Amino acid sequence: MPEAIRSAIRVIPDFPKEGIQFYDLSTLLLQPDLVKQTTELLALYVAEWNADYIAAIDARGFWFGAPVAQNLGLPWVPVRKPGKLPGSVRSQEYELEYGTDTLCIHDDVIPAGARVAIIDDLLATGGTAMATANLIEQLGATVVGFACVVDLANLDFLPNRKNLTQYPIASVLEAEG
Ligand code: AMP
């Protein structure tokens, strides 16, 4: 079954820049049965972690975070780029290959002590996931795991990925980067 999911994901070379193999999950969205299967697999992983909340990462993490939360009957929280959340936020800057980026979370939506599972579409260096984990921990909550559709597992020599290994990681597919 993951093979059908794998075939539904289009890999576009040299996007957004030369040398990057971009995993385009928008083609998976065209097949509702496979979205359902992907959601159910992610929900199985997250259920093992006894999460109270799901945090999904802007923007492609929403594609899967929302249905997984619905599947498990859990509340979910969007982690967004700066300037998008209207309330009081916590922010976390993180390093990209070139430059930096920032993610934000409303500071009053997850209670201290809550168990939070993070969902995104794809894990590469782990920088985005780590920044999200830092935001959740700033709120006094606990990160119980990180679930994604595609894990570019062959990139695990990268330093950010090492930091992320303190959390359980679950993916539907592993792929070459
Ligand atoms: P990273 O912070 O390096 O783990 O990158 C993960 C984030 O960047 C995710 O939100 C992905 O949507 C996006 N991303 C990074 N590399 C790729 C790729 N090769 N194909 C698709 N999305 C990617």
At 15-47, the pLDDT tens digits run: 999 988 899 999 999 999 999 999 999 999 999
Among residues 48, 93, 97, 174, which one is catalytic?
Answer: 97
Record the pTM.
0.96
Q: Residue 31 corresponds to which amino acid?
A: Q
Could you read off the pLDDT of 102-146 as tens digits, one per residue? 999 999 999 999 999 999 999 988 899 999 999 999 999 999 999
176 is catalytic: no
| pLDDT of amino acid 19 | 86
pLDDT of residue 160: 63
For residue 135, how many C-alpha atoms fall within 13 Å in the half-sphere facing its CB? Answer: 32
**Whole-angstrom distance, CA of residue 71 vs CA of residue 42:** 10
Q: Which atom, in ligand 1's list, is nearest to the CA of 126?
A: 4
Give residue 177's pLDDT. 58
Kindly tell me the burial class for residue 150, based on how many C-beta atoms sit within 10 Å of its own C-beta (0-12, 13-18, 19 or more).
buried
Using CB atoms within 10 A of its CB, is residue 101 exposed (0-12), middle (13-18) or buried (19+)? middle
Q: Six-digit token pair at 135?
A: 């935001």
Return the best residue to mutate from 128, 146, 162, 167 for the ligand 1 pocket (most ligand atoms within 8 A of CB). Answer: 128
Q: What is the pLDDT of residue 159?
A: 64
Shortest-distance atom of ligand 1 to CA 97: 3
What mean pLDDT is predicted for residues 92-97?
88
pLDDT in tens, 42-87: 999 999 999 999 999 999 999 999 999 999 999 999 999 999 999 9
Report the separation in Å between the CA atom of 39 and the middle of ligand 1, taken as the mean of its atom positions.
Answer: 19
Buried b (16+ CB within 10 A) or exposed e, 116-128: bbbbbbbbbbbbb
Give the binding-site residues of ligand 1, using a 6 Å CB cut-off. 20-23, 57, 60, 120-129
Secondary structure of 20-80 as H, E, C letters: CEEEEHHHHHHCHHHHHHHHHHHHHHHHHCCCCEEEEECCHHHHHHHHHHHHHCCCEEEEE
Distance of CA 169 to the CA centre of its chain: 10
